[in-house]
Structure 1
Amino acid sequence: MPLLDTGKEDVRPASVLDGNGVSAHPDQSPPRDAITAGRSVLAAYYTAEPAVRSGDRGVLTRTYWLLDPKTGTYEKDDRWSFVAVAPGARTAAVLERTLPVRRIGILDLASGRVDRWIAVDRGVGGLAYSRDGSRLVATTYGEHPDLITRVKGSSGDVAWVSPFGSYSSRSGFYVLDVADGRGDWSPVADRRDINGRQDFALSRDGRLVYSQVIGGKDGLQQFHDLDGDTVPAPANERHLRSDVSARLSPDGKLAALGLTAEAKDTSWSEIRDPYTGEEVARVRGAQLLAWVDHRRLIAWERAPGSEEYRPRLVLVTIGSEKVVPLSGVREPDEAFETVEWEPIFVERRF
Structure 2
Amino acid sequence: MAQNGTEFNPRFRELHPSKWDATVYTLNYVFEYNDHIFDILLSPRAISGYDATHSIESQCLQRMEDASFCDGDETQRNLTLGVQATESGPLHTLMYPKVINLQVVTKEGKLMAVKRDDLPAHDFHPPITNPRVLGISLPHYQVSIIQVLNELFETVYKVIINGEVICAKLARNSTHDSISDEINKLYEIQTANFSSVVRVPLLMGLIGSHTGIVGFLMAYIPTYRHNLEYALRCAKATLGADDRHRDGTPLPATTVSKARREKWSRQIEETLAALHSRNIVWGDAKTANVLIDEVTDDAWVVDFGGGNTKGWIDRELHGSTEGDQQALRRIKKELAEDWVLGEDGHSFDCTVEK
> TM-score by structure 1 length?
0.24
Larger Rg: 2
Give the structure-2-normalised TM-score: 0.24
RCO higher in 1 or 2 (8 Å CA, sep ≥ 6)?
A: 1
